[in-house]
Structure 1
Amino acid sequence: MPPKPPPNYVVQPTPSAYFISRGNGSEEMNFGAAPEYGDLVPNDRMYIHSRAAPPPIDLTTWRLHVAGSAVAKPRAFTYDELLAFPAVTCRRVLDCGVNCRAFFPRVSPYQSIKWLPTGWTQWHFGAVGATEWTGVRVKDLLDAVGLGPAANAQFTSLDAVATEAGDLPYSQVIAIDKVLADDTLLAYRMRDEPLPIDHGYPLRAIFSGWGANSAVKWLGRIEVSQEPLPLTHFQRNQVLAGPDYAEPILATVGPVRSAFELAEDITLGPGDRTLHGRAWSGAGAIEQVEVRIDRQVAQDRWAPIWEPGWRSAKLLHAPEPMMWVRFEVTWKDAEPGRYRLMARASDDAGRVQPRPEAMVWNQHAVGYNGHAPLELSVLPQSNMP
């Protein structure tokens, strides 16, 4: 008898106009729909990454358990008790640590290393979104349970993820300094609505600026420890590791990235065009975005249409830390042909998106942020529908 297929990991509808499916539980935001959005993505358009089906939760019996060797008064909080804490709201990008993973080379530059595993989710640009989160500061919650000297804390979901070691709840161990940051939240609302099921109802962790892999959904337990807890099963696959790394490094702060508000491989008509996009960083605010357009002149040969090749884009509003900023650039007299677009953002921490060929290879394909090209075609007006 063939094995039963896994249950659907996503509850809400994910129409292709707004999502690109990358496998069960992996629904990428279609950047072609982004022009419809303002600063914030509607809740039902936010990208989704779930490693298991949402657990059944009855809010009347659900509890958040807070315990551990650094906690003086372990406690199980009800939902209403969490709502009684001072509410904090912040606007933040949620960017998957392996966003843009598909742009890593399929084989490493090291001859002794085999192909990258093909089973991993091949995200393009859209494992990212921005919204307004409302919740309780973790540090306020820990003050209520008598926090003592602590090294780190483990945040554990109520889900059950199938692994080679059996079904495990998804979990993350986070350094105590980040746990106690002013903008580290236990979020229960998105854009002033209760947290949707696919985004962790009733409670998820938000570690501002860090990869979304840290943002544990369907939260059920926080264990705060005096002695350092080891990385979890899941975090061991979220490290930078390979010949260029003396030892594995846990990826935390999100890189600087950018993307155009266009579907991939789109067809445009000729003439003047205004291109829009978004840029963001986990380390702070965006300072500059540059755009380059190359035209294909022969097989595997491209030439810039501008001199110099990169042109500064206009930022459409004041940048905010850990939020994306929209940008635009004018493309005059677009002629029929095949083109590739690239955006290169820099942030106020001094980080700049590198050339794709300058990306340092790592075994888990984490943290890609080279200015990967988006290809499109310009057709003669007579060929346009």
Structure 2
Amino acid sequence: MLAVTHRPDHSEDGTGRPRETGYSRRSFLACSAAGAAAPFLVRGASSSPGAAAPPSGEAANFVVQPTPSRYFVHRENGSEEMKWGPVGRAVLDGRHAEYGDAIPNDRLYIHNRARPPRIDRRAWRLRLTGDALARPRSFTYDDLLAMPPVTLRRTIDCGANCSAFFPKLPPGGADERWLPVGYTQWHFGAVGAAEWTGVRAGDVLAAAGARSPVDVKFMGLDLIVNQSFPGGTVRYSQVVPIEKVLKDDTLLVYRMNGQDLPVDHGYPLRLLLSGWSAVTFVKWLGEIEVSTRRIPPTGLQTRHVLTGPAYPKPVPLSVSPIRSAIEHDPEVTLHPGDVVLRGRAWSGHGAIDRVDVSVERLAAPGRWVTEMPWRRATLLNTPEPFMWVRFEVPWRGARPGQYRVMSRARDRAGNVQPRPQDVVWNQHGLGYNGHYPLELIVVPPSDMP
């Protein structure tokens, strides 16, 4: 049995709030300012067997799979956002249909900070190291397949999703003119859901004889070039407290929707932390360090924090906030008449309990009036923890004009999406979850050119 030592200062206190670090605001701001504009490149992929650098001619593109504009919005190199329009009116297997609960593997959003390493899984090994292990060892891919498999339906939501909706200056601005720092200005679509299959992280630690672990560091095989870090390179990594690692729904994933994990999503193995922001889901796993002491975060994890005027100390990102989105792309044109508005809602705190939808009409420049007051939507599938729920609400007699539509979700823990003006601003643009409006246009067919 895996023995666990509990500490009073671990990351969660039962409320879902992450622990605070000892970093000063000044050190984080200096670090962020140095790295915000630094270009990300890729070098040799790994010292792990089976990983190799991509040919130099391919190094400029961080995404391997095709990302047609029909399904993706290109934000930055390595950042491909899922379009919400196809979610509601997709062509699947040659027929028109809506996406179900899961997003197809080739249409889930992608966020790569370097070119994915080329890995031969026959030679690949997952190394387990650290002073909390009685028998440090390596696992082959087949070793993991031989362990009890677990399959979960989970939403994967980038911590910076919706970051473009943050005001560019904090409240009161003049003396603290910090622009939100982010590699990508995502809109709604840095999110998706899938059926994930893998092995429990706790089972892997137990097989290596873990004793009284405290922190676990997961390290990927992608090598990111960023001149703001010592030596100019950094491997993507995340330090996770043992309490989270040992949960039954924390997995080392090797399949997605019944298929081998796609290259852009971490082949051959990635981390899945149910309910946490996907920024913590390390891809292309190569090493796990298991320690009897706290491990200080390194690399990009030092920037995955909430910091700004409202945060006396930086707060590390963990639990994903409650969010929702309407299944339309911005500026969609609709015909007058009865319309059904559909969307999806999700939360890292648990299952969705309720969704409401409101419609406003542009009456004059800068003046919006209520067209449809907040109306409770119908949930189209049974809410599950950490899985999004589909919803719909009728909008009767839509007239020609310009509109904005908002959805507001509530989860079973009592969290409700705030108004956009009530979202707490942070410098890194993380965790935005206001019920931000989506603009739509209603035009009669006779007026269309």
TM-score band by shorter chain is over 0.9
> Is the contact between residue 94 and residue 130 of structure 1 (CA under 8 Å) also seen in structure 2?
yes
> Is the contact between residue 307 and residue 315 of structure 2 (CA under 8 Å) also seen in structure 1?
yes
Partner of 1:72: 134
Partner of 1:34: 87
2:181 paired with 1:128 = no
Kindly provide the amino acid, as one letter, of the partner of residue 156 in structure 2: L
Partner of 1:360: 424
After superposition, residues 77-88 of structure 1 pair within 5 angstroms as 77-88=139-150
> Is the contact between residue 31 and residue 126 of structure 1 (CA under 8 Å) also seen in structure 2?
yes
After superposition, residues 52-201 of structure 1 pair within 5 angstroms as 52-109=114-171, 110-117=173-180, 120-163=183-226, 164-165=228-229, 166-201=232-267
Structure 2 CA distance, aligned partners of 1:128 and 1:18?
Answer: 13
Kindly provide the amino acid, as one letter, of the partner of residue 107 in structure 1: L
Secondary structure of 1:264 counterpart: coil
Q: How far is the alpha carbon of 1:118 from its aligned partner? A: 6.1
Change in 2 beyond 3 A, CA 1:210/1:182? same
Change in 2 beyond 3 A, CA 1:357/1:117? closer
Partner of 2:47: none
> Is the contact between residue 72 and residue 145 of structure 1 (CA under 8 Å) also seen in structure 2?
yes
2:74 paired with 1:10 = no
2:344 paired with 1:278 = yes
Structure 2 CA distance, aligned partners of 1:39 and 1:32?
Answer: 15
Deviation digits for residues 265-285 of structure 1 (CA, Å, limit 9, x no counterpart): 111111100010000001100
Structure 2 CA distance, aligned partners of 1:294 and 1:382?
Answer: 24
Out of 430, 439, 445, the position equivalent to 1:375 is 439
Out of 307, 322, 327, the position equivalent to 1:241 is 307
Change in 2 beyond 3 A, CA 1:382/1:118? farther
Please, what TM-score do these two structures have when normalized by structure 2?
0.83
Aligned residues: 381
Please, what TM-score do these two structures have when normalized by structure 1?
0.97
> Is the contact between residue 254 and residue 267 of structure 2 (CA under 8 Å) also seen in structure 1?
yes
> Is the contact between residue 22 and residue 123 of structure 1 (CA under 8 Å) also seen in structure 2?
yes
2:72 paired with 1:19 = yes
Partner of 2:333: 267
Partner of 2:108: 46
> Is the contact between residue 182 and residue 428 of structure 2 (CA under 8 Å) also seen in structure 1?
no
> Is the contact between residue 270 and residue 285 of structure 2 (CA under 8 Å) also seen in structure 1?
yes
Out of 329, 332, 340, the position equivalent to 2:404 is 340
Q: How far is the alpha carbon of 1:111 from its aligned partner? A: 2.0
Deviation digits for residues 359-385 of structure 1 (CA, Å, limit 9, x no counterpart): 111111110000000001111231247
Structure 1 CA distance, aligned partners of 2:153 and 2:165?
Answer: 28
Partner of 2:274: 208
Gaps of 5+ in 1: none
Runs of at least 4 residues off by over 6 Å:
none
Structure 2 CA distance, aligned partners of 1:256 and 1:119?
Answer: 20
Secondary structure of 1:346 counterpart: strand
Q: How far is the alpha carbon of 1:245 from its aligned partner? A: 1.1
Deviation digits for residues 201-240 of structure 1 (CA, Å, limit 9, x no counterpart): 0000000110001100000000011110011221121101
Structure 2 CA distance, aligned partners of 1:264 and 1:115?
Answer: 28
Q: How far is the alpha carbon of 1:59 from its aligned partner? A: 1.3
Change in 2 beyond 3 A, CA 1:115/1:244? closer
Structure 1 CA distance, aligned partners of 2:157 and 2:123?
Answer: 32
Q: How far is the alpha carbon of 1:167 from its aligned partner? A: 1.5
2:298 paired with 1:232 = yes
Structure 2 CA distance, aligned partners of 1:155 and 1:41?
Answer: 26
Structure 1 CA distance, aligned partners of 2:447 and 2:202?
Answer: 60
Q: How far is the alpha carbon of 1:340 from its aligned partner? A: 0.3
Q: Judge which range, 122-131 or 52-61, deviates more.
A: 52-61
Structure 1 CA distance, aligned partners of 2:73 and 2:139?
Answer: 37
Structure 1 CA distance, aligned partners of 2:447 and 2:169?
Answer: 38
Deviation digits for residues 266-317 of structure 1 (CA, Å, limit 9, x no counterpart): 11111100010000001100000000100001111101113xx211111111
Structure 2 CA distance, aligned partners of 1:7 and 1:66?
Answer: 32
> Is the contact between residue 151 and residue 198 of structure 2 (CA under 8 Å) also seen in structure 1?
yes
> Is the contact between residue 169 and residue 180 of structure 2 (CA under 8 Å) also seen in structure 1?
no
> Is the contact between residue 71 and residue 147 of structure 1 (CA under 8 Å) also seen in structure 2?
yes
2:287 paired with 1:221 = yes
Structure 2 CA distance, aligned partners of 1:119 and 1:252?
Answer: 17
Partner of 2:95: none
Q: Judge which range, 69-78 or 111-120, deviates more.
A: 111-120
Kindly provide the amino acid, as one letter, of the partner of residue 298 in structure 1: A
Secondary structure of 2:344 counterpart: strand
